[in-house]
Structure 1
Amino acid sequence: MPVIFFYNIFRLVYQSAVTLAATRNPKAKKWVDGRRNWQQQLQQNWQPKPGDKLVWMHCASLGEFEQGRPVLEKIKNQNPKTKILLTFFSPSGYEIRKKYNGADYVMYLPMDGASNAKNFIDLVQPNLAIFVKYEFWHYYLTELKNRKIETVLISGIFRPSQPFFQWWGGFHRNMLQCFSHLFVQNRASKELLDGIGLSGKTTIAGDTRFDRVIALAEQWKPIEIADAFCGTEPVIVAGSTWAEDETILAEWMKENKQYKLIIAPHEIKAENINRLKSLFPNCISFSELSTHNTQHITHNCLIIDNIGYLSRLYKYATVCYVGGGFNKSGHHNILEAAVYGKPVITGPNFEKFKESVDLKKLGGSFTITNATELKNVILQMDISAASAITENYVKENAGATATIVNWLQEKRLFTSE
């Protein structure tokens, strides 16, 4: 039985499951509701003029968007007349970036299918399609290939265990053949692709996230409340923390009151902030401190209960702790801390991320599993040396965006003839 049969079964089952879940799950409801009347919404909001260069970028979620963003913004900077359509698969990406002003329109990608793909491409008429890192949809890619629309993958990363490299993976390999070019993060990915006949269509560009964090650092502005809170004491900034991270940090803080802690939890709902206040007795939230006199701060823990500050807060750190490392999916983005030349500590699940593996070998990143290990790592750390390592590592790995955009420009894919 052909693989396409099972792919279609998967699509139908997935969509049915999400639709059923939408009756009780807010995220699933957004996934379903956000795709209603998509053709009408697209027709109303995507109205380019004849002769416009049209670029469609698709991202699975927020993390992929942050990788694609430097490329979009460089394209727009080089040719402001380029029209950009940005699509997301997941609500966690769309809901946060639906008002992103770097795109002319932002929407959910309709579920993959022959009819949806045809109608979507008919309406969008892209000159260039950009997929970021992981998203591979059979009908969309096939439609783009059949219409001879240039299609590229950026920030791709591949592993031997993926279906593309298995004896039974012909269906998946055919999707890769639909790309005009694949920009990958490392040599191992390129070698895997070369081994399945894609050697003329691959380039090692690196990871665009390095360019993104450098751009953020260059735009850094001080945070008045953080300035007042930190004073002259050593500071640990813990970002995107989960319960396992927070328990360890709380235990460590009991014996290390000479430090101040800024903690930006992954979840900022009121019940979680209240839980953190119980866990860290001498704490105050960002919202509370913003209404207090900041000249007489006696608290040693600041809880960030709003979004948009984390990447700037890392600059205040003596040492950074990046949360999520006790989850199976691994920790959050350590580059946002490393760009400021900060040593980084994470939980034990770090091996999915090349930058974490690299920095651990180099001596700029450290892993722990409990409060005792956290204490020992900080005591034994050469902060100055680790700081230099992280800062240099980010600088040395910049440039992926320029590599990609230069290739696109040579092909005149977003500039006028």
Structure 2
Amino acid sequence: MERGKGRLWFHTASVGEFNTAKPLLKRLYKDHHITLTYFSPRAKRYLQSQEGKGYFHELYRLPLDLPPFVKSFEKRIKPSAILIMERELWPFLLLSTKAPKVWLNAYTKGGLLERLLSKRFSLILAREEKDAEKFRSYGISEVFACGNLKFVFEEPPPVEIKLETSKLLVAGSTHPGEEEVIKRVYERLLKELKEVKLLIAPRHISRATEVLRLFQNLGASLRSKEEEGWNVLVLDTLGELFSLYRYAKVSFVGGTLVPVGGHNLLEPAYFGKPVLYGPYTHKVGELRAFLEKIGLGFCVRDEKELYKTVLRLFTEEDTEKHTTLKEHGEKVLECYLFHLNAFLEKVL
């Protein structure tokens, strides 16, 4: 083995769980040989695209959950420990393997099967204290509440824009029906505030030219061309929105004023920016609750509330909260690494 202290078998269900685990994987990669397995066939292509990026050394589909297959795979890769993300509680994976097991980002749903299988873990790192308490009630002692790994992000690469004011509203992942509302709100803001700018990112960049036409009379430019002195910048490039939220004074996340269900509410909060969203957040309810809990989330029911809230936040002296999601995420990640490294020191 070329690298590290031992082999780790790290299992995630699909793309979402893998992305949640990426900051943790990157830190573990430096000291351990990581064999990543996945369950969803649809995840294969994406995970293959992540090879060589410092997350894992080997990639395999999870073997069929029957004793001969699970035992054979374990014998083949010889892991020192098995790390399992979230609810991937495959009975024979847990019952037929010999290596000590760690349950990461764990949360409870209850039931007899959960009670029985959770006892197969040598260490459980839970999302919340209520989950940890439930696991302890099953008779498991090595349980710690570290927080939700979904709220841990990798630092996005820096990007630059031509901006001469701190008054920037960034509206990300917008849909038809929302851009028209944002335009009317922005027109009203121009009457109240000096040098206010708007950066708008349609959810599908194929619509960028359509959105540009909507804002053309307000001095709009495409990000790919970025003319001098723009008032409205329409994002038509991939992979930049997360980084560009750092320039916002206030942010709005789309798919929420129309019945889509919401998109990533956490990216603006990573930089400590207030995050506004409409009432349609059924796909991101957990993220919304978290942001409102830490004082960074604001639900606006309609155009009138959106205007009033943006104006209030623009005119407040300090809209950036002292605790950013970045700081929160660093604490969560350090908790996971502390307990995980202590455990691995014992078993490797």
Q: Tell me the TM-score normalized by structure 1.
A: 0.68
- 2:106 and 2:127 in contact (8 A); partners too: yes
- Aligned pair in 2 of structure 1 residues 327, 232: CA closer, same or farther (>3 Å)? closer
Q: 1:126 aligns to what?
A: 79
- 1:236 and 1:321 in contact (8 A); partners too: yes
- Measured after TM superposition, the shift of residue 299 of structure 1 is 5.2
Rounded to whole Å, the distance in 2 between the matches of 1:297 and 1:395 is: 34
Among 204, 207, 210, the residue aligned to 2:148: 207
Among 249, 254, 268, the residue aligned to 1:323: 254
- Measured after TM superposition, the shift of residue 303 of structure 1 is 1.8
Among 50, 70, 75, the residue aligned to 2:23: 70
2:310 corresponds to 1:378 = yes
Rounded to whole Å, the distance in 2 between the matches of 1:56 and 1:235 is: 45
Rounded to whole Å, the distance in 1 between the matches of 2:316 and 2:37 is: 41
Among 280, 286, 299, the residue aligned to 2:223: 286
- Aligned pair in 2 of structure 1 residues 277, 208: CA closer, same or farther (>3 Å)? same
2:153 corresponds to 1:153 = no
**1:71-110, CA deviations, whole angstroms, 9 ceiling, x for partnerless residues?**
2222233x2xx21122344477554443332121334445
- Measured after TM superposition, the shift of residue 316 of structure 1 is 0.9
Task: Specify which structure has the higher proportion of helix.
Answer: 1
Q: 1:3 aligns to what?
A: none
- State the SS of the aligned residue for 2:301: coil
2:339 corresponds to 1:402 = no
Amino acid at match of 1:335: L
Amino acid at match of 2:222: S
- Aligned pair in 2 of structure 1 residues 156, 331: CA closer, same or farther (>3 Å)? farther
- Measured after TM superposition, the shift of residue 284 of structure 1 is 3.7
Rounded to whole Å, the distance in 1 between the matches of 2:338 and 2:262 is: 32
Root mean square deviation of aligned Cα: 3.5
Rounded to whole Å, the distance in 2 between the matches of 1:306 and 1:51 is: 35
- Measured after TM superposition, the shift of residue 204 of structure 1 is 0.5
1:118-197 equivalences under 5 Å are 118-142=71-95, 146-158=96-108, 162=109, 165=110, 169-195=111-137, 197=138
- Aligned pair in 2 of structure 1 residues 277, 53: CA closer, same or farther (>3 Å)? same
Among 232, 243, 252, the residue aligned to 2:165: 232
- 1:99 and 1:106 in contact (8 A); partners too: no
- 2:264 and 2:284 in contact (8 A); partners too: no
Q: 2:267 aligns to what?
A: 336
Q: Tell me the TM-score normalized by structure 2.
A: 0.79
Rounded to whole Å, the distance in 1 between the matches of 2:345 and 2:25 is: 13
Q: Which runs of 5+ in 1 are unaligned?
A: 1-47
- 2:4 and 2:33 in contact (8 A); partners too: no
Q: Which runs of 5+ in 2 are unaligned?
A: none
- 2:12 and 2:84 in contact (8 A); partners too: yes
2:182 corresponds to 1:249 = yes
- State the SS of the aligned residue for 2:321: helix
2:265 corresponds to 1:312 = no
Q: 1:263 aligns to what?
A: 200
- 1:343 and 1:390 in contact (8 A); partners too: no
**1:48-90, CA deviations, whole angstroms, 9 ceiling, x for partnerless residues?**
569961112222344422331222222233x2xx211223444
- Aligned pair in 2 of structure 1 residues 351, 275: CA closer, same or farther (>3 Å)? closer
Q: 2:10 aligns to what?
A: 57
Rounded to whole Å, the distance in 2 between the matches of 1:242 and 1:113 is: 45
Amino acid at match of 1:170: L
- Measured after TM superposition, the shift of residue 206 of structure 1 is 1.5
- The number of residues matched between the two structures is 337
Rounded to whole Å, the distance in 2 between the matches of 1:273 and 1:113 is: 50
Percent identical: 25
**1:392-417, CA deviations, whole angstroms, 9 ceiling, x for partnerless residues?**
x65356323222223232233598x5
